[in-house]
Amino acid sequence: MTTAPGLRADGKRPGVVVFDYGSGNVHSAVKALETAGADVELTGNRRRALEADGLLVPGVGAFTAVVDSLRASHGDEVIDRRLAGGRPVLGICVGMQVLFERGVEHGIETEGLGEWPGTVDLIRADVVPHMGWNTVEAPEDSALFAGIRDERFYFVHSYAAREWTLEASGPFPKPRVTWAQHGSRFVAAVENGPLSATQFHPEKSGQAGIRLLRNWVSAL
């Protein structure tokens, strides 16, 4: 018997935890993931977050506040343990930014989670924040952007990683990095083994965002 696309071997929908660490309104992410084919739970329970097929880390607000809240809820440990076991994690917006080594906001430098080298700082553009729909430059072999490389996605941010220096390491292939342009180029998404992230909000990006989440859920 073959398993339907997007379903687990036991015939159930993949289970995704949206990690609840006080990031604000994340119900749109829950609804988008459900539409994308996941069985979704919004919780800050570490055991549930560790055991889920996929973990989504949202992020709204300031880099420092998100890092502090994640550490206070032991979300940094959850992410580390999942990645050590090759278990998928997806970060969104500031939930992506905090995966880098450091963030600089208003001249204040904050240590990030350090999953990737690099600094998140103010984007270089005449108009900040970058708010609205924008195209992206996704690699041809991107799994996240399969079938949607020419679509537009919804951004709302003032800070971003403007460089990418990590090369292939360990058992994982070379990271797939997607770029966008607003004034200057910045990292719009990353696929790095079990760790993926988007600077834009797929849950606010209409059908293209649902398709991206479906691509991620289907691979769990």
List the catalytic residues: 93, 201, 203
Which residue type does 97 have?
Q
Contact 177, 137 (CB under 8 A): no
Contact 97, 160 (CB under 8 A): yes
Tokens of 54: 């996929």
Which residue type does 29 have?
A
Per-state percent for the chain, helix, strand, coil, to nearest 5: 25, 30, 45
Q: How far apart are CA 179 and CA 185, in angstroms?
A: 7
Cα separations in angstroms, 8 against 24, 175, 218: 30, 26, 9
Going by C-alpha positions, the residue among 90, 42, 66, 72 that lies closest to residue 159 is: 66
What is the length of the chain? 220
Which residue type does 214 have?
R
Residues facing 39 on adjacent strands = 15
